[in-house]
Amino acid sequence: MTYIICCAVFFSFGFIVGSILKSAVYDNQDWGVLKWDSKSMGFRHVQNGSFLMQGEKIIMAINIDSSKIPDGGIKYTKRQRGHYEVGS
């Protein structure tokens, strides 16, 4: 009985800590929304007040500070199942 209670307490504690860390890491990123522009043949930032319609090509992305990339660059490779990794 005490084992079940201890498991429930630790599970609850882990869930709460995970929720806090998620908001601290994921939600506080510098997210941007990009929409396909056929005139420029590329994605452009969506302006405030713009409408996003069904069927449009839309990307949600994070701005990355490229000054933190080491000299010589980094190698970008694609893994299986759509997961991406950046290797050196």
The C-alpha atoms of residue 13 and residue 7 are separated, in whole angstroms, by 10
Q: Is 41 left (phi over 0), alpha (psi -120 to 50) or beta?
A: left
pTM over 0.85: no
For the chain, give every domain's residue range.
2-87
Tens-of-pLDDT digits for all 88 residues of the chain?
889 999 999 999 999 988 888 777 777 777 888 888 888 888 888 888 888 888 888 888 888 778 888 888 877 776 655 555 555 4
Q: What is the pLDDT of residue 18?
A: 86
Report CA-CA distances (Å) from 15 to 4, 29, 43.
16, 21, 37
Q: Which DSSP string do the residues of 53-71 spell out, in sequence order?
A: -TT--EEEEE---GGGSPT
